[in-house]
């Protein structure tokens, strides 16, 4: 059961953030996971980073869309320039123009000095518009003009300004459906959707869960020291649906470390009602995952190479997953005649 997602997540705040310009050493350190879908995400990032074109990143909340955007920036020619991220849902429609384009002194009440906008802050770098689906239709039309002719006009400024920033957008919404309902401009979608990268939900790539947990435990070492998770704890995590995706998993790991001093974590503080439908769905997925691994091994006579190829993972990853599931490949070998 695999499809991918990213790893460590940063929750977008109401104000833009300008990231460090140092490129990421490797996508595997930030986009964690060995599933076939995770490999596909990294391959798409590497491919799209070569071209100076808009990219639309899609996926549920908490799947790591900003990490993908940062990966695109750090692997491209603009890596030494600023990465400016803004949460569109946190900007009121009436303020979008001044936030994006800036404003001259006296342009509106309270404008006591000239103010640079996000496009100017991005310079020749990347402007990441998170939750682009939350923009009003009026704001969408203003953004469309920027994408079309690379020019904009700060509020109160009679002069046109040019921008060289690359735009990457992200959304958890189905923009095609939003277009059909009249809430999103079709022409803006066509302009943004030159290339698309999807960040799948955690429940679709549960085979990466142990690696993600290890990743968060290592990141937490400066605060909580060296810790590890027991096999029993990891199996329990696999029974949950993770509606908050990787962000929820990270918070679960951190919360557990806060209240647990043991070196080996035997149970994580997962806040899901035991009798919920999500819990039952998690049990069903775990059983299907175990059954799928057994089926593939049985079909390949217990041979790890062909089984790994059929599942789209490395032999090493398959061996680790079998250990987690308590499955021995030798049990499926066909005895010699």
Residue with tokens 């993600």: 212
In whole angstroms, give the CA distance from residue 55 to residue 196.
6
pLDDT digits (tens, 9 = 90+) for 275-331: 555 555 555 555 546 677 778 888 888 888 888 777 767 787 778 777 767 788 887
Mean pLDDT of the chain: 81
CATH class of 203-332: mainly alpha
* Cβ-contact 57, 197 below 8 angstroms: yes
Token pair, residue 14, equals 């109401």
For 1-10, 19-28, 150-159, 293-302, which range has the lowest pLDDT when averaged over its residues? Answer: 1-10
Residue 228 pairs with which residues in a beta bridge? 264
CATH 3.40.50.300 residue spans of the chain: 17-200
Contacts 24+ apart (CB under 8 A), 158-165: 161/101, 161/119, 161/120, 163/119, 163/120, 163/122, 164/123, 164/124, 165/84, 165/119, 165/122, 165/123, 165/124, 165/125, 165/126, 165/127
The tens digit of pLDDT for each residue in 178-189 reads: 999 999 999 999
Structure tokens at 87: 């949460």
Q: What is the pLDDT of residues 151-164, one digit of tens each?
A: 777 776 667 778 88
Q: What is the pLDDT of residue 280?
A: 55
H/E stretch holding 111: none
> What are the beta bridge partners of residue 170?
57
Which tokens sit at 233?
A: 């704890």
- The confidence score (pLDDT) of residue 108 equals 57
% the chain with pLDDT above 90: 44
Given a cut of 50, is residue 2 above it in pLDDT? Answer: no
Q: Does residue 237 surpass a pLDDT of 60?
A: yes
**pLDDT for 24 beyond 80:** no
More confident residue, 15 or 237: 237
C-alpha distances out from residue 285 to 14, 44, 168, 278, 288, Å: 36, 27, 34, 10, 5
Residue 43 CA: distances (Å) to CA of 21, 39, 47, 130, 171: 22, 6, 6, 22, 20
Positive or negative, the CA dihedral 256, 260, 264, 268 is negative
Separation between Cα atoms, residue 110 and residue 142, nearest integer Å: 23
The ranges of the chain annotated as CATH 1.10.8.60 are: 203-332
pTM exceeding 0.75: no
Cα–Cα distance, 184 to 193 (Å, whole number): 13
Give the chain's count of helices (H) and strands (E): 15, 12
Using CA of residue 263, residue 269, residue 275, residue 276, what is the dihedral sign?
negative
Q: Is the Cβ–Cβ distance between 133 and 172 less than 8 Å?
A: yes
118 versus 250: the higher-pLDDT residue is 250
Alpha helix stretches (DSSP H) within the chain: 27-30, 36-49, 65-74, 96-101, 118-122, 137-149, 175-180, 186-192, 209-219, 221-224, 231-237, 245-259, 277-299, 304-311, 315-325
User: What class has domain 17-200?
Assistant: alpha beta
């Amino acid at each position: 059961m695999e499809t991918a997602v990213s790893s460590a997540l940063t929750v977008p705040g109401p104000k833009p953030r300008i990231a460090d310009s140092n490129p990421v050493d490797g996508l595997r350190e930030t986009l964690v996971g060995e599933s076939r879908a995770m490999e596909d995400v990294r391959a798409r990032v590497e491919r799209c980073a070569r071209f100076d074109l808009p990219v639309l990143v899609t996926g549920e909340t908490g799947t790591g869309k900003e990490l993908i955007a940062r990966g695109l920036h750090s692997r491209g020619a603009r890596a030494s320039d600023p990465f400016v991220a803004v949460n569109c849902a946190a900007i009121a429609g009436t303020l979008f123009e001044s936030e994006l384009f800036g404003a001259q002194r006296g342009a509106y009440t309270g404008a006591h000095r000239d103010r640079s906008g996000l496009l100017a802050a991005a310079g020749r770098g990347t402007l990441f518009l998170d939750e682009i689906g939350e923009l009003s239709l009026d704001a969408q039309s203003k953004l469309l003009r920027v994408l079309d002719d690379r020019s904009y006009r700060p509020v109160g400024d009679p002069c046109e300004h040019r921008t060289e920033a690359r735009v990457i957008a992200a959304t958890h919404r189905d923009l095609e459906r939003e277009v059909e309902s009249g809430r999103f401009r079709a022409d803006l979608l066509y302009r943004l959707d030159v290339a698309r990268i999807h960040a799948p939900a955690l429940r679709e790539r549960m085979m990466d869960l142990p690696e993600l947990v290890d990743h968060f435990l290592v990141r937490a070492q400066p605060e909580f020291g060296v810790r590890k998770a027991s096999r029993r704890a990891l199996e329990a995590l696999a029974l949950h649906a993770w509606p908050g995706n990787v962000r929820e998993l990270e918070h679960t790991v951190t919360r557990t470390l806060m209240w647990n001093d043991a070196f080996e974590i035997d149970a994580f503080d997962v806040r899901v009602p035991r009798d919920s439908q999500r819990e039952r769905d998690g049990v069903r997925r775990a059983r299907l995952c175990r059954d799928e691994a057994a089926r593939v091994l049985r079909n390949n006579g217990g041979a790890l190479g062909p089984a790994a190829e059929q599942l789209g993972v490395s032999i090493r990853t398959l061996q680790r997953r079998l250990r987690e599931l308590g499955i021995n490949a030798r049990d499926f070998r066909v005895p010699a005649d």
